[in-house]
Amino acid sequence: MSQVAIISLVLIVANVLVSYLGFNNTGFYYAYRFQVGKVLHEKDYKRLVTSGFLHSGWLHLILNMVTLFFFGYDMAAVLSGWQMLVIYFGSLLGGNLFSLYLHRNQPGYSSVGASSAVIGLVFACIALLPGMKIGLFPLPIRLPAWLYGVAFVLFSIYGIRSGKRGVGHDAHLGGALVGMLIAIALYPGVLAVNYMAILCILLPIVFFIYAMVANPSLLLVNKLFFKSNGNYTIDQRYNVERKEKQQEIDQILDKIHKRGMGALSRKEKQMLEEYSKNVK
């Protein structure tokens, strides 16, 4: 068994164990997930890494781990063990940092998952082997890697602009970018050989980031992520969200007082459980 294959299995086991703890322990899950306010306001930087080993559910975990397992064979052909680890954790950090930047005015925004790390490995392989075939599960279709990369990037940009929650398109895009850049840094010679495929993937990402930073008003993302009420700082926004959450908890407690615990919805019970674990 190759070094890359062994590392892949170790990462899979670590993801399964940590995610399982999160599934069964709400306090553990909330203590280690990525959350903008906790990172920026409370300087809890470990969440940039620990959140990558938590998942929102079994399906989320299985999809990421199956992708990591099968790409282990492709990675073994082009990467050493330490190179794989550099790309994995570099992409994980890159994805979370890009998400942190986009959602910097939303202290309550949170996410979990190894997607950015796994996608970073996928895009590293695309940079090195753009002609390989990638399947579109569960469809019986296999695309050239470079075409899959272009389609994935465009879909991620659309997902960010649409503002729909539930999928971390921003972390995916950040992970893909960092994974490809690290692969190029490790093997700069691929630029001369695979320059066309690499440019087709990198140019849309670079253009999107430049447009977003230079003139956010051109993008829908401006209304979703950058909208400000007055001149709130991150601290003020964090305090506002804490106040709003406290009001929600007060309403739940009032409902218990009047109608009992049985009157609470599942969501209200989860909110109350989260609040009770965070109270010191």
- DSSP code string of 178-203: HHHHHHHHH-TTHHHHSHHHHHHHHH
Helix, strand and coil in the chain, % to nearest 5: 75, 5, 20
Question: Are the C-beta atoms of residues 234 and 107 closer than 8 Å to each other?
Answer: yes
Is 90 exceeded by the pLDDT of residue 276? no
pLDDT one-digit tens code per residue, 42-98: 899 999 999 999 998 899 999 999 989 887 777 877 888 899 999 999 999 999 999
What is the Cα–Cα distance from 165 to 174, expressed in whole angstroms?
17
Domains annotated for the chain, with CATH where assigned, are 3-225 (1.20.1540.10), 234-278 (no CATH)
pLDDT one-digit tens code per residue, 174-220: 999 999 999 999 999 999 999 999 999 999 999 888 887 776 655 55
